[in-house]
Structure 1
């Protein structure tokens, strides 16, 4: 596959995955916020889920960059 095609595919996959991830993150945060638990008990779940969700996205981005072959 040509390098320019790989770049375009990787770019659009990153955009789509980024938007998809933000929607998943919002859904999870809203679910945690609707819990009857006090904020002090919700905070670790908010931080942990945020780190996990965006950590996975970062790993996928790194994999796409490796596949693209530029970095």
Structure 2
């Protein structure tokens, strides 16, 4: 059985989701690198890293779930 027929979604939609995921991970990595290059101690960088991780992957989850 074809999984695209079962879910009712076209392969193009699947590639769109993969592209969004790749873009989100790229943006997340760029933000993390920028935070680490900004200097400061780990106590200053950790909250920023946690916040960007939660926001980026929260948005990615919302896109995948269709919320």
How far off is 1:10 after superposition?
2.3
Counterpart of 1:36 in 2: which secondary structure? coil
* TM-score for the superposition, normalised by structure 2: 0.81
What is the alpha-carbon distance in structure 2 between the residues aligned to residue 35 and residue 48 of structure 1?
Answer: 16
Runs of at least 4 residues off by over 6 Å: none
Q: Which moved more, 1:7-16 or 1:20-29?
A: 7-16
Cα distance in structure 2, aligned partners of 1:55 and 1:10:
20
* 2-structure distance, mates of 1:48, 1:7: 34
Unaligned 5+ segments in structure 1 are 67-71
Query: Greater RCO between the two (CA within 8 Å, min separation 6)?
Result: 1
Q: What residue in structure 1 maps to residue 59 of structure 2?
A: 56
- Number of equivalent positions: 62
The SS at the match of 2:38 is: coil
Scaled by the length of structure 1, the TM-score of the pair is: 0.77
RMSD over aligned Cα, in angstroms?
A: 1.9
How far, CA to CA, are the matches of 1:32 and 1:26 in structure 2? 10
2:35 corresponds in structure 1 to: 32
